[in-house]
Amino acid sequence: MGEDENILEELDDIQKNGLEALASVQDEAGLQAWRTAHLGRSAPVMLAFTRLGQISKEMRPMVGQKANQVKLALEAALKTRAEAVKTASLRQKLDTERLDVTLPGRRPTMGRLHPAAQALSEIIHIFEEMGFQEYRSPEVETDELNFELLNIPAYHPARDMWDTFHTTVPGTILRTHTSPGQIRAMREMCPKPIRVILPGMVYRYEQTNASHEMQFNQVELLAVGKNITLGDLKGTIEGFAQRMFGEAVRVRMRPSYFPFTEPSADIVMECFVCGSKGCPVCKYSGWLEIAGCGMLHPVVLRNGGYDPAVYSGFAAGLGPERIALLKYQVDDIRNFWQNDIRFLEQF
Ligand code: FA5
């Protein structure tokens, strides 16, 4: 009987010790350890249940009830403590990891258009205001359109004017100029009058220097109709140059040769890079060539579907990077495609 009464006292101690130990638990790991020690399979209160069989029949219900009360009391205390620990750790997190809403935000870096693209869109915009419509033509072109139909047969020495990148497909090349677009536009629009610009990238297998790159943009200009004269070409080019560079700009047309125009000319502008004093960009001449141009050759008109006895027209091929050199006073055309961020960020 004495031992049976002892177990009741023992259960009181188990509860007291458990609650005391729980009071000092501060975190999740401590709660886990306490649960194992005081409510786990080998915890004193659990062992008390296994001892019930050895207790006298009279005392057994009382001891059983007591052990149950102790277990429930410990479980309830654990629940309360777990909530307190959770609240405390949340409060601590809020205190230490508080958001400072007054901190300035991180500015996203703003992208911008490449200087060649800026020049290109300004040129396109000017010609669109003058009534030219934008027309696109492919960069991978046939030999026939890039040369043959532009009055440059395979045997003709004029082919040497354009050092060409060939592809593995016979008769297929990277276009050396935007002029093949003349034939495409004419064939599509014949017999209507035409006023189009054809902007885009061209490729040449040539030695680079301050004014020559291997890939660069061109803007082809094409006008076809009745009674179009050299005066219209000159007026269009001068009008463009004045809008691009201001009223006082000096532009010259210098006689030249292209197999697809007759007569032909180069358009040269005073060199703004050196103030016409002479520099590597203008090859020390004070003038920089920005375009080739001329009146459409009868063979080309015919290849486009137009009767040269009835129709005439002009064409020009402008170099936007050359124009950008002058506009932004850049001293080497190779800067445009070298991808040096220090250069590009200046625009
Ligand atoms: C042509 O490409 C002719 N298709 C232009 C033309 C069109 C003439 C229509 C008549 C009628 P050219 O090779 O000169 O011509 O080039 C025209 C322009 O492109 C030049 O004036 C220049 O501004 C630019 N250009 C030529 N070669 C380069 C290069 N390597 N790097 C940068 N720009 C260039």
Report whether residue 147 contacts ligand 1, using a CB cutoff of 6 Å: no
Q: Does ligand 1 have an atom closer than 6 angstroms to the CB of 199?
A: no
Q: 190: CA distance to ligand 1 center in Å?
A: 26
**CA atoms of 245 and 273, how far apart (whole Å):** 13
pLDDT above 70: residue 3: no
Q: Is 175 in the pocket of ligand 1 (CB under 6 A)?
A: no
Residue 244 · residue 123 · CB < 8 Å:
yes
The answer to whether residue 1 scores a pLDDT higher than 70 is no
Read off the pLDDT of residues 195-239 as tens digits, 9 standing for 90 and up. 999 999 999 999 999 999 999 999 999 999 999 999 999 999 999
- Report CA(258)–ligand 1 centroid distance (Å): 10
The best mutation among 174, 177, 220, 262 to test binding of ligand 1, ranked by most ligand atoms within 8 Å of the C-beta, falls on 177
Pocket test for ligand 1, best of 152, 201, 218, 244 (most atoms within 8 A of CB): 218
How many angstroms separate the CA atoms of 154 and 335, rounded?
A: 34
Whether the CB-CB separation of 48 and 41 falls below 8 Å is answered with: no
**What average pLDDT does range 2-9 have in this prediction?**
77
Bridge partners (DSSP) of residue 218 are 200
Separation between Cα atoms, residue 85 and residue 35, nearest integer Å: 14
Q: Tokens standing for 214? A: 């291997």
CA of 205 to the centre of ligand 1 (A): 14
pLDDT at 95 over 90: no
CA of 217 to the centre of ligand 1 (A): 9
- Per-residue pLDDT at 76 exceeds 60: yes
Task: Identify the band that residue 135 occupies on the pLDDT scale cut at 50, 70 and 90.
Answer: very high
Overall average pLDDT of the 261-278 stretch: 91
Ligand 1 atom with least separation from CA of 178: 4
For residue 273, the model assigns a pLDDT of 81
292 lines ligand 1 (CB under 6 A): yes
Find out whether the beta carbon of 218 lies less than 6 Å from any atom of ligand 1: yes
Q: Taking every pair of C-alpha atoms in the chain, what is the biggest distance, in angstroms?
A: 135
Residue 255 confidence (pLDDT) above 90: yes
Among 25-29, 52-56, 60-64, 220-224, which range has the highest average pLDDT? 220-224
Residue 316 CA to residue 148 CA, distance in Å, equals: 18
Beta bridge partners of 289: 268
Beta carbons of 151 and 300 less than 8 angstroms apart? yes
Q: Which amino acid is at 39?
A: L
| Residue 149 pLDDT | 98
CA distance 175 to 278: 32
* pLDDT greater than 90 at residue 55: no
Output the CA 162–ligand 1 centroid distance in Å: 9
Of 238 and 272, the one with more pLDDT: 238
Sign (positive or negative) of CA dihedral 344, 336, 282, 127: negative
Mean pLDDT value of segment 284-312: 96
Mean pLDDT over each residue of the chain, to the nearest integer: 93
Confidence of residue 100 (pLDDT cuts 50, 70, 90): confident
What tokens were used for 305?
């579907």
| Mean pLDDT, rounded, for 319-339 | 91
